[in-house]
Structure 1
Amino acid sequence: MRPAAVPALPPEDGLGGAGVVYELKLDGFRCLAFARGRRPPYLQSRSGRDLCAEFPAIADAVARLPEGLVLDAELVAWQGGRFAFGELLRTPAARDADGVVLGLIAFDVLALPGGRDVRRLPLADRRRLLSEVLADVPPPVQAVLATGSRAEALSWSERLADSGVEGIVCKSLASAYRARGAGRAWVKYRPGDTTDATVTGFTGTPGRPRALLLRLADGTTVLGSPQLTPVQARQVAEAAAGLLDEPRTDPEHGTVHPLRSPLRAEVRIGTGRASGARFVRLRGD
């Protein structure tokens, strides 16, 4: 389920009137964690990729969970007193060398040990089950911080922003888990909200990209503005290595280096102007 963006936190009797739970929205990779007993665990990214090879410590922790348990969770990195999304894009060896701490923060349970599917149960029941199955589980697997108080959630959003907390996810306690869309049963409040886009190419050179060609959710393609910073350019160049097609001349943007396989990115859209799409970062999930 993917929550819809809202400009303000709903009231405690909102989202259908059955009660609301407010959860921290953490800055990481969303994934489903499958504990499979004697078979290797599986960490399924939003794009369907298995993340186990990139996060062996988290994979080992999931392997120790009871067989058949399936969690919906956020894979996060912590360094220097804050959540550090960029560390998730580095190799395991590089993270280990710099003392980066990883965590798998679970906010829902989809199947119980033994494989019982609980997605049709109301969230209130699934939250209780999640607490029970994780009661004796040590870090790096933990349950997300949550509250039923709107005032407390607003306080968290303000006080924890500097630690990398993105905002608050609000969920109806009556909601079942639906794989395609959350309707208005789950919503997210995030100041300065961002959206996903696809990088289809860039201007500049392969070693120093200057601006990105971005395909937005509505299918339009825009040139990201302003130009990439040196750090952003280096990250894009590294991610695009081996994915480049032959350069072509675009009548509007000049020489463009298209990508055979597009990259996923997070962008911030300027008010009223799609052409004001500002590149925030690449997403590795």
Structure 2
Amino acid sequence: MRPAAVTAVPPTDGLDGSGVLYELKLDGFRCVAFARGERPPYLQSRSGRDLAAEFPPIAAAVARLPAGLVLDAELVAWREGRFAFEELLRTRQARAAESTALGLIAFDVLALPGRDVRRLPLADRRRLLLAALADVPPPIQPVMATTDRVEALTWMEQLADTGVEGLVCKAAGSTYRPRGAGRVWVKYRRSDTLDATVRAVVGSAARPEALVLELDDGRVLLSSPRLTPVQAGRVAEAVHGRLGRTVRDPEHGSVRPLTAPLRAEVTVTGRPPTATFVRLRGD
């Protein structure tokens, strides 16, 4: 099941009316972990690939679970006080050499030994998950979750510096449907509102389509999605008389650089980061 992206955290009755379970959204590899007794564990990625050989500490921990237990989880790395997605992309030898901490943060249970529980409501599966992992030590642990929206928002803000991305919000009565979540699972990604310098425009001077933006930390991003008609009109007015000749940018194609600085407010979300244009700065 894959949650749909939303721009606001839903209220407690905002999905299917059964209540909402709010979970921390973590930055890692999605992984369904199969404990198989005497057979090697299987760590299934979203593409179906087995990740066990790449993450031996996690595979060893799953191997100690009761045979037949199946967990839906996020495989994460932790370094210098933050979740560190980039560590997951390194070789296992490089991670081992620097003692990178790995974890398997479980947010659902799909099967218990001898029992498929996907048709049970999420609220019941959550109780079964907590019971199944009650005596299981790290690196496997359940995700932080609550039915209290205010508490979830507080967690998200308090833990932002650790790399928590946002919240995954799920209807408490939802069953596990392998072919998709529809709108009963949604994800809200925390965004940062930042100032940026407009370096160039994409499209015509009269109707810009996007902006090449330089953040104050040096990152250069192309605004997305496409500017609305109102935004394009305001940008066109502001850049009039400030545009140089069209040049070929190696990353963004044909652009028209600004000859005088212009500041904008943007929201930056996600990995890789996406910059959404909000407005031009009046100052």
Task: Write the deviation string for residues 145-197 of structure 1: whole angstroms up to 9, x where unpaired.
Answer: 1111111111111111110101000111100001121111111111239xxxx
1:106 corresponds to 2:139: no
1:17 partner amino acid: G
Structure 1 unpaired stretches of 5+? 194-224, 228-251, 255-264, 273-285
- Please show how residues 1-285 of structure 1 align to structure 2 within 5 Å: 1-114=1-114, 116-192=115-191, 266-271=271-276
Secondary structure, in 3 states, of the residue corresponding to 2:58? helix
Compare CA radii of gyration and give the structure with the larger one. 2
Structure 2 unpaired stretches of 5+? 193-211, 215-247, 251-269, 278-283
Secondary structure, in 3 states, of the residue corresponding to 1:62? helix
TM-superposed deviation, 1:91: 1.6
In the alignment, the residues of structure 2 paired with residue 112 and residue 39 of structure 1 have an alpha-carbon distance, to the nearest angstrom, of 17
TM-superposed deviation, 1:92: 1.8
In the alignment, the residues of structure 2 paired with residue 269 and residue 91 of structure 1 have an alpha-carbon distance, to the nearest angstrom, of 27
Alignment correspondent of 1:219: none
Task: Write the deviation string for residues 207-259 of structure 1: whole angstroms up to 9, x where unpaired.
Answer: xxxxxxxxxxxxxxxxxx789xxxxxxxxxxxxxxxxxxxxxxxx999xxxxx
2:152 partner amino acid: A
Aligned-residue Cα RMSD (Å) equals 3.0
- The count of corresponding residues between Structure 1 and Structure 2 is 216
Secondary structure, in 3 states, of the residue corresponding to 1:158? helix
In the alignment, the residues of structure 2 paired with residue 19 and residue 174 of structure 1 have an alpha-carbon distance, to the nearest angstrom, of 7
Task: Write the deviation string for residues 23-50 of structure 1: whole angstroms up to 9, x where unpaired.
Answer: 0001110110000111110000111111
Identical pairs, percent: 72
In the alignment, the residues of structure 1 paired with residue 168 and residue 152 of structure 2 have an alpha-carbon distance, to the nearest angstrom, of 9
In the alignment, the residues of structure 2 paired with residue 174 and residue 192 of structure 1 have an alpha-carbon distance, to the nearest angstrom, of 29
Secondary structure, in 3 states, of the residue corresponding to 1:18? coil
TM-superposed deviation, 1:88: 0.7
Secondary structure, in 3 states, of the residue corresponding to 2:153? helix
| Structure 2 CA distance for partners of 1:146 and 1:45, relative to 1, 3 Å | same
In the alignment, the residues of structure 2 paired with residue 271 and residue 148 of structure 1 have an alpha-carbon distance, to the nearest angstrom, of 30
1:181 partner amino acid: G
TM-score normalised over the length of structure 2: 0.69
TM-superposed deviation, 1:138: 0.9
2:13 partner amino acid: D
In the alignment, the residues of structure 1 paired with residue 90 and residue 38 of structure 2 have an alpha-carbon distance, to the nearest angstrom, of 29
2:74 partner amino acid: E
In the alignment, the residues of structure 2 paired with residue 271 and residue 172 of structure 1 have an alpha-carbon distance, to the nearest angstrom, of 29
2:11 partner amino acid: P
Alignment correspondent of 2:255: none
Task: Write the deviation string for residues 81-135 of structure 1: whole angstroms up to 9, x where unpaired.
Answer: 1111111111222112212111000000001012x11111100110011011111
TM-superposed deviation, 1:268: 4.3
In the alignment, the residues of structure 1 paired with residue 66 and residue 108 of structure 2 have an alpha-carbon distance, to the nearest angstrom, of 16
Secondary structure, in 3 states, of the residue corresponding to 1:142? strand
1:96 partner amino acid: A
In the alignment, the residues of structure 2 paired with residue 64 and residue 125 of structure 1 have an alpha-carbon distance, to the nearest angstrom, of 24
4+ residue stretches of structure 1 with deviation over 3 A? 265-272
In the alignment, the residues of structure 1 paired with residue 45 and residue 119 of structure 2 have an alpha-carbon distance, to the nearest angstrom, of 22
TM-superposed deviation, 1:79: 1.0
